[in-house]
Amino acid sequence: MSLDPAFPAADARALVRVALDEDLGPSHLDVTTLATIPPEQTRTAEVVARAPGVLAGVAVIAEVLHQVADLVGCAAPHVEVLLTDGTAVIRGDVVARVSGPVRAILIGERTMLNVLCRLSGVATHTRRWADQLQGTGAMVLDTRKTTPGMRHLEKYAVRAGGGTNKRMGLYDCAMIKDNHKLAAGSLRAAYESVRRTFPDVDIQVEVTTVAEGLEAYAAGARFIMCDNMSPGLLADTVTALRAMGDPVEIEATGGLTLATAAEYARTGVDYLSVGGLTHSSPILDLALDLVD
């Protein structure tokens, strides 16, 4: 299905099924299309960019149309992909061309565009951050602030836009935050409990001061997230941690904007994590037009 082997095809398949059930109801009906379009009518349509941006999720076009064809009992439209994920587009660019039963094309139009526009919006937003960080040595990371049911797809879109995925969930990396420290009794107690219980899992510790960063290092942490620090405080923390000897991965988070991204990157951090990549990206405006 996908032009990119990293595309989460199973997640797309499941999401499309839920979206079509939601749109077509329990009897799988599009009352307008079924009443106005004869089953034998075939046409060609194009998926067209209405605004500049970066594509992600092009494989969803075929997934939607194949599922629609199964639901309404017609042949699946043929999909010709012209522009692949990660491609920068401008207004008027044709992303894909689909040919086949008009019923299937029109029934699937909104579901296909909802997913494709959403993922391309995430990729577009991420590309802006990646461009701001170019040449600094820092990378932009996503977070767990994703749309429920779309995490793997949205994180794929981040990659398509030039960003980097952080942890996928609560299971693949421990992140010790203030509430964990309070509940465990101390930063060190929390760190040692995680290391003892899950010895093979990476551990990140959130800190807000230089002293807390050094405390995390002393406890054994080598992946440290600096939360809501000013550029000056962040630079001091980076300097102190780099002087300790062992390599340390350092991430900045909280209150970051595109306007300040380069300034924060110049402090020497490895990463800037931005929840807004997935929770606040506007869609990329794409449309489907019948052309013959």
Q: What tens-digit pLDDT sequence spans the chain (292 residues)?
A: 334 558 999 999 999 999 999 999 999 999 999 999 999 999 999 999 999 999 999 999 999 999 999 999 999 999 999 999 999 999 999 999 999 999 999 999 999 999 999 999 999 999 999 999 999 999 999 999 999 999 999 999 999 999 999 999 999 999 999 999 999 999 999 999 999 999 999 999 999 999 999 999 999 999 999 999 999 999 999 999 999 999 999 999 999 999 999 999 999 999 999 999 999 999 999 999 999 7
Q: What is the pLDDT of residue 236?
A: 98
Rounded Cα distance, 83 and 86, in Å: 9
From first CA to last CA, the distance across the chain in angstroms is 26
Query: How many Å is the Cα radius of gyration of the chain?
Result: 23
User: Which fold is adopted by the domain 9-123+281-290?
Assistant: Aldehyde Oxidoreductase; domain 3 (3.90.1170)
**pTM score, whole prediction:** 0.95
Give the long-range contacts of residues 60-64, CB within 8 A, separation 24 or more.
60/12, 60/16, 60/112, 60/115, 60/116, 60/119, 61/96, 61/98, 61/112, 61/116, 62/1, 63/1, 63/9, 63/12, 63/13, 63/16, 64/16, 64/20, 64/108, 64/111, 64/112, 64/115
Quote the tokens at residue 285: 């405006």
Q: What is the pLDDT of residue 3?
A: 44
- Contacts with 73 (C-beta within 8 Å, 6 or more apart), sequence order: none
Rounded Cα distance, 11 and 1, in Å: 12
Element (H, E) at 146: none
DSSP assignment letter at 193 = H
Domain boundaries along the sequence of the chain: 9-123+281-290, 131-279
Which residues are annotated as catalytic?
Answer: 110, 145, 177, 206, 227
Quote the tokens at residue 165: 């995925």
Element (H, E) at 261: helix 261-265
User: Which fold is adopted by the domain 131-279?
Assistant: TIM Barrel (3.20.20)
